[in-house]
C-alpha cells in the first residue's frame, strides 16, 4: 500500500518506523508516525464548540472520503473506528513545529517526576495551522471485505448492523463518516446518544433514536437475525417499546445551523441507512452535489 499512487494515500497517517524500549515491566513497542497537529475533536472543543463552518466540514469530508476509497478499494481494509478523535490535522511543512521547539528550549513545559523511570509532561497548546486531514488509529481495523463479526465502534456511533449482530463490512465506515464527520463536526447536538430521557445507555434507546431519525427498519433488515429482532420488534416489525421513540429527534428537528440544509440532509441520508447495502460508497459520495457545489 505504501507504493500506491491513489490520492487517498496521503490522507492516511503513515507509520515511519518502530523500535523497542526495554523497561522494568518488559518490552514496549514504540511506533513512530508522521507528525500531526491536534485532532478534530480537540479543535472543536477548544476553538469551535458550536460547530465548524460548512465549507471546512465539506473539505474535511472530501479528504476522509479519499482515504476511505483508498482503504476500501485498494487496501481492502475496514477501519471500524472513525470519529473526530481519530481524525488529525496534518502538516504541509514540518517547519511549523520550529516555534514549538524553540519555546520548549527557552521555556520548558512543567513536568512531574512520579518515579525514577517516569516523568509526566504538560502538553503545550499549539494553535492549528492549515494542513491535510489524516485518518489515524488502525488498532481496531479489519482486513478483507468480510463479513466480519464482533463489537466495534463507540456505543453511540454503532451502525444498525452491529446492533443487530449481523456481519458487517465497509459500509460501517460510511455510517461513521456521516454520523461523526459530517453531523458531529457541523452540528452542536449529536444525532444519536444511545441514551433514554433518564440518561441510561442501552441498545433499545439507541434503536429508538434510529427509528425517530430514519423511520422504521425494513423487514428485510430485521430478517437478517430473527433471534435478535425478537428482542425489540414483534413478528410484524412493530416496535415492542423497550424504550420510547423520541418525538423531537428527527434530522430536520436537530439540524439548527444551516440556512439551507436540504443538500446536507440528502448527503446524510445517503450515509445513514438501515440496510448497509443501500449506503453509498466512498467513491460515490465524492461526487455528491453537497460536496461538489451542485447542491446546497
Query: Annotated catalytic sites, by residue?
Result: 81
Of all helices (H) and strands (E), which one includes residue 112?
A: strand 111-115
Q: Which residues pair with 148 in a beta bridge?
A: 168
Alpha-carbon distance 293 to 280, whole Å? 18
Alpha-carbon distance 248 to 42, whole Å? 29
On the question of a cis peptide bond just before residue 87, with omega within 30 degrees of 0, the verdict is no
Residue showing cell 433488515: 221
Alpha-carbon distance 163 to 217, whole Å? 12
Alpha-carbon distance 107 to 109, whole Å? 7
Q: Is the dihedral of CA 132, 145, 153, 18 positive or negative?
A: negative
Q: Which residues pair with 113 in a beta bridge?
A: 119
Alpha-carbon distance 156 to 154, whole Å? 6
Amino acid at each position: 500500500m505504501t507504493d500506491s499512487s491513489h490520492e487517498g494515500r496521503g490522507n492516511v497517517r503513515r507509520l515511519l518506523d518502530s523500535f523497542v524500549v526495554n523497561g522494568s515491566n518488559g518490552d514496549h513497542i514504540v511506533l513512530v508516525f508522521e507528525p500531526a497537529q491536534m485532532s478534530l475533536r480537540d479543535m472543536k472543543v477548544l476553538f469551535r464548540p458550536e460547530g465548524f463552518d460548512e465549507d471546512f466540514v465539506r473539505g474535511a469530508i472530501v479528504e476522509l472520503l479519499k482515504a476511505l476509497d483508498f482503504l476500501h478499494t485498494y487496501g481492502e481494509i475496514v477501519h471500524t473506528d472513525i470519529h473526530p478523535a481519530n481524525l488529525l490535522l496534518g502538516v504541509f511543512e514540518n517547519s511549523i513545529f520550529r516555534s514549538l521547539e524553540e519555546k520548549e528550549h527557552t521555556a520548558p513545559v512543567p513536568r512531574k517526576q512520579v518515579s525514577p523511570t517516569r516523568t509526566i509532561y504538560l502538553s503545550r497548546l499549539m494553535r492549528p495551522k492549515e494542513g491535510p486531514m489524516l485518518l489515524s488509529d488502525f488498532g481496531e481495523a479489519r482486513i478483507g471485505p468480510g463479513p466480519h463479526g464482533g463489537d466495534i465502534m463507540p456505543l453511540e456511533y454503532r451502525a444498525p448492523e452491529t446492533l443487530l449482530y449481523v456481519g458487517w463490512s465497509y459500509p460501517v465506515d460510511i455510517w461513521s463518516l456521516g454520523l461523526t464527520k459530517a453531523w458531529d463536526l457541523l452540528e452542536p447536538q449529536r444525532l444519536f446518544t444511545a441514551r433514554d430521557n433518564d440518561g441510561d445507555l442501552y441498545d433499545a434507546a439507541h434503536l429508538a433514536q434510529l427509528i425517530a431519525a430514519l423511520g422504521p427498519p425494513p423487514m428485510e433488515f430485521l430478517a437478517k437475525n430473527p433471534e435478535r429482532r425478537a428482542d425489540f420488534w414483534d413478528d410484524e416489525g412493530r416496535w415492542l417499546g423497550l424504550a420510547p421513540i423520541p418525538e423531537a429527534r428527527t434530522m430536520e428537528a436537530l439540524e439548527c445551523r444551516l440556512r439551507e440544509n436540504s443538500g446536507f440532509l440528502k448527503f446524510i441520508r445517503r450515509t445513514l441507512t438501515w440496510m448497509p447495502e443501500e449506503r453509498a460508497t466512498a467513491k460515490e459520495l465524492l461526487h455528491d452535489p453537497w460536496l461538489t457545489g451542485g447542491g446546497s
